Structure 1
Amino acid sequence: MIMPYTTAPLAAPTRRRTAAAALAVTVILALALAVGAGGGTPAAAVVAAAPAAQAPAPGAPQPDPGIPPADPGVAQVDLNAVMTALRLNDVAADYVLLVDTSASMRDGALFDQVRDFLRGYVAGLTPADRFTLIRFDAVPALLYSGSAADAGSAIDQLPLVPNGGATDIGAAIREAVNELDRRDASPVSAVFLLTDGAHNPPRSSDFPDPESNDRPWQALQDHTRQRLDLARVHGHGIALRNDDQAMAGASLLKWALPATKVLALPPDQLRAYLDRAKEDSRRLTAAGLLTPDTQEQVTVSWEPRLADVDPGASHLVTQVKLTSRAKWLPVELTNVSITPSRPDVQAVGVPDRIILPPGQSVTIPVILTWQQHSAGWLRRSQVVTGELRLGATIDSPWRDVANYDFKLPLRLRFADESTVLHGSNPDGWNLWGVLRLLLLVAAVILAAILGRLWWYPRLAGILLVEWPNGQVVQVELSGRKAQISTRHRIDAPGTGSVRGRRARTDGETPRTDILVRYRPRQVSGRLPRVRFSPGQSRIVGNVTFTYPEGTHAEGWQREAGPFARFPRFLRGRRGPRDRTGGSSRTPPPSGKARRAGP
């Protein structure tokens, strides 16, 4: 029950910002003691890091004296040198010739000139090439398909006098496509269509005039795209007469090979043109060989592995192995360097230029020197660490030929060009680190203690305890905890305790609540806990606890909280209502506490 006229001041807490300021000062002082050198004192270097221009450490292996001098550029070779290096005489190409043998080829001895041209042309082919000869009029006929070395006999199989009554160009083109659709066909092929007139098929032909019915021609086009790599097959439609009908007939090859070149040539110019076309085919063959090489990698390997080196070693020689994965393309590395990620690591003996033949490897010895340093917050270690990266300009003597003749820009790149350098040796305890850890732990413990003292301040004021029989006991509170029992200051029939608890207030006057734990004598189990503010009373078990609202008996507020004995500059200024319970100089009411009415 609440006593209506009592003199009980509330506990006087320190303001929250004053406590926070003091706590912050304490933590900052502790952390200031804990701050020290981050990585410890660097150990003396076993071998001083030497730049590339200086001599390596005494006793270390000397770099290879046969390093070629630096050259600002890579010397380029011509097309003939590249063709010779590629051994194109051993690389076969497919040449398919479609020769019109219709009766119109007799006019002007046109057919005789074509036959004489073919004899000279076949003699100029390389033995590795494959030659196919197909004549066509009403129906196509395969005369020869095999090595160019034996192709001379194929010319003798042409008729002495062309007497075909029709010209089925579509069927001849289909025969050429089927001939190139072989397992052993060369990836680079050329088809030459020689005709003197338009498409004039017999009625039984599968290829009518495309202007009236182009479905068979579309089917031929689809079949060619499915069976052949059109990027590797060159088409040449040659009109042997300079008129519209001959040009229309030669243009029909585009249905199968869309990139076909169509032109009108007299028989005496065929040799020069086909020789140029043959050279174009050889270049296309060379480009096909070099295409994968221009996008290959130069792999880098480091021996021995540098992930577990001895920091105390005077030097280390690593074997850097560079391997070209190109099959044909020679590679040359210029401005070669090994760049460490740390300034205390140096690489000595790196050549400025390295030549890599196709598919081969070159190994260079590189001397690594470093300056070891101490590390470890608690356990000290002698450490060397960093990253090594090989850098260079990747070039080739064939660069210009690849760029300008084959339209193949070089896109060579490194693989595994970087590695990790690391080593560690234990070197005992870091005493300064242990001291910092202990100071930090002490600071944390001190902050926790001060925080608990701030949340549970000193008790002040009076507490009224009413027994079940109506007897009222008035107890003046002091200290941080008061025991409840018949043998302690708070005389009540039971056991428990009373503590102060700082209340959370947002923008209001700070206050301290009362936290009571009490259990009557006849009751067992856990002590129930009750919290109440000044001016309130609570019944716990069969006892009524009242915390009156008022001032202290002496009339002066006393400093409460864990910072009561701190200097004033740590506690802050006290305002006119710095303590809950009235003005800082309000005297307490006089008189004795009495029990309220029934």
Structure 2
Amino acid sequence: MGTLRRTVAGLAAALLAALAVCVPANPAYAVPTAREVRAAPATTDEVYTALGIDEVAAGYVVLIDVSGSMRDGGRYEQVKRSLRAFLAALAPDDRVTLVTFADSARVVHDGPPGRSPDRLLAKLPRTADGRYTDIGAAIEASVRQLSRAGTPQIATVVMLTDGRHDPPTGSPYPFEQGYSWKQLAASVRSLKKTALSAYAVPLTGSTGAPLLATVYPGARILAPTSINRLGAQLEQPKAAARAAKARSLLGTDATRGVEVVWPAGTGRLGAGPTRLQVRLRSTTTKVPLVVGRLAVRSDRPDLRVTVPDGPIELPPGGSATVPVTVDWDPGPRRVAPLSTVTVDTTLTLTGEVTSSWSDVLTGPLGLSFAPPLDGGVTKGTLSAQRGSLRWWTAGAVALLVLIAVAAVARRRRLHPHLTGTLDVRTPDGEERRLPLAGRRVALTADSAGLPGYGEVTANRASVGSAAIRLVIRYSRDGTTTGREVGTCGPGETVELAGAAFSWHAAEQVGDGRVASVLGPSR
């Protein structure tokens, strides 16, 4: 019975192992982390510093009225003081051209602003003493300077005047319109500049400042202001030039955004939760982006998708990985052992893309900034095995276990243990008594005094039979071909190959003692 118990235990262990294979383990996922930062709005100076606008050269042509009327109210001295602050703020790589005009126009400086604005202002006349105000000649000088090779692609013209156009005799611009003015306007249109702006600053209520707009399209005529506010007025062309530098550096960044890169595993999803690592990649080269309000929609009600909502900061050209959990319920199990449920789905990732630079881009730079989120839509296939294969497998294994147990029990029933003793008379007449035990006893010279070889086993005719007979196989020469087979019941004698065998079977009696059933006496 101990052997039977061990056999059943081994088969049960095999059943449990088979069930373990059928039941999938829960996968462990490493959750990728994305840098979640809520960036504070950047200031204009911070954006300009990040872009490096001081490394971009801009050209400034400043037209300064030096007619005698500029002495009234100390206007000329105030102009020089305001220009001092204006020139001090220019970048080292900028180029500045100072043009004075009255009876004619004269370039007093053309080159970098240098480190000392006073050095440039020293080149201006000590006093304004011109008799005329030839605004046409001044504008012509600005056009001539901007037409020279090597001048910066970003250019700004600033004109400061307190009088109307009053040219001397012989000027090409005797009136405020005419052929010469048209030629100047045509020359401006032929300039190949990335950004060109012009500003006229009237220093009194009635001046010829509007003439600048007849040559430079889009020129701004600033409102007349008191002379002590001239510095504030000069901030406008300077700010416009810096903004033009920034726009030139940004290129197409204002139209770029974030690209969504879905992992390769999205095309085939299984039942239960699946963790996808979705990458957000910035396509900008200068502008940092922030992605917030992330969400994923599905076109299937049995599919639940979750994603952290951010915000996630993306440096220019950088990327971050966000975990998207897809949890699909494919429905109940089916009776068939193999039954696959396969459906198609569409996942749509949405979000709001902004930037800490947004206020500067849409404000001082005047750009339209609405960065897109591209690639948020992906198609996938949901597939799951909903058959009852593991239960069928478990049932089959259980059935095999039962069959094996029954086979072992039947074999043991049909081939019981040997009991009692076997009297052996050798061909030479020698007699020995051989005790029987176990399920097989060998007949050898040592055990039974027989030459050759033989075996003794017990056998029942059927599972339900109580009668047991010995099956004796004996060969005098030990070969298989010379072996003889015979059966022997309790108390019977069988002769095989010259040897005689008599079985004295033992059986249990009521009081637990062993009685012996003896064969016929010889």
TM-score by length of structure 1 reads 0.51
Q: 1:416 to 1:187 in 2, by over 3 A?
A: farther
Q: 1:59 to 1:109 in 2, by over 3 A?
A: closer
Counterpart CA distance in 2 for 1:303 and 1:152 is 62
| 8 Å Cα contact 1:47-1:315 kept in structure 2 | no
Alignment of 1:360 onto 2:318: yes
Counterpart CA distance in 2 for 1:304 and 1:252 is 64
Q: 1:274 to 1:422 in 2, by over 3 A?
A: same
3-state SS in 2 of match to 1:122: helix
Q: Deviation at 1:360?
A: 1.7
Counterpart CA distance in 1 for 2:242 and 2:55 is 11
| 8 Å Cα contact 1:237-1:263 kept in structure 2 | no
One-letter amino acid of the structure 2 residue matched with residue 170 of structure 1: G
Could you say which residue in structure 1 is the equivalent of 2:28? 60
3-state SS in 2 of match to 1:227: coil
| 8 Å Cα contact 1:47-1:370 kept in structure 2 | no
Q: How does 1:334-373 map to 2 (within 5 A)?
A: 334-348=292-306, 350-370=308-328
| 8 Å Cα contact 1:330-1:398 kept in structure 2 | yes
Counterpart CA distance in 2 for 1:124 and 1:424 is 66
Q: 1:336 to 1:236 in 2, by over 3 A?
A: same
Counterpart CA distance in 2 for 1:267 and 1:254 is 22
Alignment of 1:422 onto 2:381: yes
| 8 Å Cα contact 1:47-1:371 kept in structure 2 | no
Could you say which residue in structure 1 is the equivalent of 2:98? 133
Counterpart CA distance in 1 for 2:291 and 2:189 is 41
* Correspondence for 1:388 among 343, 347, 353: 347
* Cα RMSD after superposing both structures: 4.1
Could you say which residue in structure 1 is the equivalent of 2:200? 237
Could you say which residue in structure 2 is the equivalent of 1:463? none
| 8 Å Cα contact 2:272-2:329 kept in structure 1 | no
One-letter amino acid of the structure 2 residue matched with residue 391 of structure 1: T
3-state SS in 1 of match to 2:184: helix
Q: How does 1:382-531 map to 2 (within 5 A)?
A: 383-422=342-381
| 8 Å Cα contact 2:307-2:323 kept in structure 1 | yes
Q: Figure out how many residues of one structure are paired with residues of the other and give that number.
A: 359
Could you say which residue in structure 2 is the equivalent of 1:275? 235
Counterpart CA distance in 2 for 1:338 and 1:243 is 62
Q: 1:181 to 1:337 in 2, by over 3 A?
A: farther
Alignment gaps of 5+ in structure 1: 1-45, 49-56, 429-598
Alignment of 1:201 onto 2:201: no
Could you say which residue in structure 2 is the equivalent of 1:531? none
Could you say which residue in structure 2 is the equivalent of 1:177? 143
* Correspondence for 2:259 among 287, 293, 299: 299
Q: 1:262 to 1:410 in 2, by over 3 A?
A: closer
Larger RCO, structure (CA 8 Å, separation 6 or more): 1
Counterpart CA distance in 1 for 2:66 and 2:230 is 17
One-letter amino acid of the structure 1 residue matched with residue 242 of structure 2: R
Could you say which residue in structure 1 is the equivalent of 2:514? none
Counterpart CA distance in 1 for 2:61 and 2:193 is 16
Counterpart CA distance in 2 for 1:121 and 1:399 is 28
| 8 Å Cα contact 1:399-1:409 kept in structure 2 | no
Counterpart CA distance in 2 for 1:337 and 1:94 is 48
Could you say which residue in structure 2 is the equivalent of 1:143? 108
* Correspondence for 2:221 among 251, 261, 270: 261
One-letter amino acid of the structure 1 residue matched with residue 260 of structure 2: V
Could you say which residue in structure 2 is the equivalent of 1:41? none
3-state SS in 2 of match to 1:175: helix
Q: Deviation at 1:218?
A: 2.6
| 8 Å Cα contact 2:354-2:370 kept in structure 1 | no
Q: Deviation at 1:217?
A: 1.6
Q: Deviation at 1:380?
A: 8.4
One-letter amino acid of the structure 2 residue matched with residue 360 of structure 1: G
| 8 Å Cα contact 1:63-1:348 kept in structure 2 | no
Counterpart CA distance in 1 for 2:84 and 2:23 is 78
| 8 Å Cα contact 1:176-1:191 kept in structure 2 | yes
Moved more, 271-280 or 251-260: 271-280
Q: Deviation at 1:59?
A: 1.8
Q: 1:216 to 1:110 in 2, by over 3 A?
A: same
Q: Deviation at 1:98?
A: 0.7
Deviations 1:49-81 (A, max 9, x none): xxxxxxxx8223042467759x8xx75444454
Could you say which residue in structure 1 is the equivalent of 2:424? none
| 8 Å Cα contact 1:97-1:191 kept in structure 2 | yes
Counterpart CA distance in 2 for 1:67 and 1:327 is 19
TM-score by length of structure 2 reads 0.57
3-state SS in 1 of match to 2:351: strand
Q: Deviation at 1:302?
A: 1.8
Alignment of 1:222 onto 2:195: no
Could you say which residue in structure 2 is the equivalent of 1:581? none
Q: 1:314 to 1:116 in 2, by over 3 A?
A: closer
Counterpart CA distance in 1 for 2:111 and 2:287 is 31
3-state SS in 1 of match to 2:262: strand
Q: 1:412 to 1:67 in 2, by over 3 A?
A: closer
One-letter amino acid of the structure 1 residue matched with residue 310 of structure 2: D
Counterpart CA distance in 2 for 1:337 and 1:355 is 16
Q: Deviation at 1:316?
A: 5.3
Counterpart CA distance in 2 for 1:368 and 1:409 is 36
Q: 1:325 to 1:408 in 2, by over 3 A?
A: same
Task: Give runs of ≥4 in structure 1 deviating > 6 Å.
Answer: 423-428
Deviations 1:5-28 (A, max 9, x none): xxxxxxxxxxxxxxxxxxxxxxxx
One-letter amino acid of the structure 1 residue matched with residue 201 of structure 2: I
Counterpart CA distance in 1 for 2:148 and 2:273 is 61
3-state SS in 1 of match to 2:209: helix
